[in-house]
Amino acid sequence: MAEQSWFFEFPEMDRADVVALRRFLDGAYRDFSRSYGDAIETVFNPLLFFMVWFEKLLLGMPWLLVLAALTGLAYWASRSAKLTLAVTAAFLLIGYFGMWDDTMRTLSIITVATLLSIVLGVPVGIMMARSDRMQNVVTPVLDIMQTMPAFVYLIPVVMLLGIGKVPGLIAVVVYAIPPLIRLTNLGIRLVDRDVQEAAVAFGATPLQRLLGVQLPLAMPTIMAGVNQTIMMALGMVVIASMIGVQGLGQPVLKSITNQYFTMGLLNGLAIVAIAITFDRVSQAYAKRSQRHLQGLQGD
């Protein structure tokens, strides 16, 4: 009977071995974070300063000025009076319901996370587009980043850097960067071969080809990636609030634990309002800047 038990029960790893493995990995990571945690934190310091500065800027400015800046930005990007009016109304309502400061904090982390994602993601996407081997290596990493529950990678980040803005930012970027990398890669790979060949035939260097042909022609796709990154970053705001990121996520978290339905709903709607604002404005901008391509899209 004992002979056949493996047939009905999975031949598991020995319990003692599991404990030993866990101890080993946990211990190793703890030692790593103890000895290098401070050093790694200093690496992120410039980022922290920038985030703090930007948040203070948004919070310190008179609300009318911020609102004017947002309205101006929306109009410049979309050239649509209707859209601009909707954005203004949304932010007025947010302020009226007392969520102005939290919204500014969320805007600040979203902005920094998006910028960081672009700075890191676009070059990775370019490298992926240039080499199939790179693509084969990076793609599974992106799969892991997108499917691994956020809480799982929050653990090592918090162990390493503690609770606060920087680990929150890292969590947001890890979650939000994959679509940008994927779409940058895709966009460049889809650039018309003929146009690229023409550039080479006129003696363009690889850099001239990248900056003059590949990136501009991939721009609509890359912009779609930026758009997705913003959306995903906003979705991460609530989870990031669990490790001390201030903003609209924290009241939501409080509402969950205390069952404040209205408070949760209002803050949730504020996040939705920001998301829709970013989405519509960035899409309107992308569409406007690619207008001259319209004739080609029919081909």
Check binding of 202 to another protein (CB under 8 A): yes
Residue closer to another protein, measured from CB, 45 or 208? 208
**One residue of 49, 57, 212, 265 binding another protein per CB under 8 A:** 212
Q: Rounded to the nearest 5°, which phi and psi values hold at 204?
A: -70, 140
Alpha helices, H only, the chain: 5-8, 15-60, 63-78, 81-96, 100-130, 132-147, 150-161, 165-189, 193-201, 206-209, 215-241, 249-258, 261-289, 294-297
Site string for another protein, 255-284 (x = CB under 8 A): ------------------------------
Nearest to 246 by CA among 54, 83, 21, 40: 54
Binding mask of the shown chain, residues 219 to 258, with x at each position contacting another protein by CB under 8 A: x---------------------------------------
- Determine the size of the site formed for another protein (CB under 8 A): 24
Per-residue mark of binding to another protein, 136-175 (x: CB under 8 A): ----------------------------------------
Token representation of residue 130: 């240039």
User: Closest approach of Cβ 206 to another protein, in Å?
Assistant: 9
Residue 246 Rama label (left phi>0; alpha psi -120 to 50; beta) = beta
Token pair for residue 9? 């029960």
User: Which chain residues interact with another protein by CB under 8 A?
Assistant: 192, 194-195, 197-205, 208, 212-213, 216-217, 219, 290, 292-296
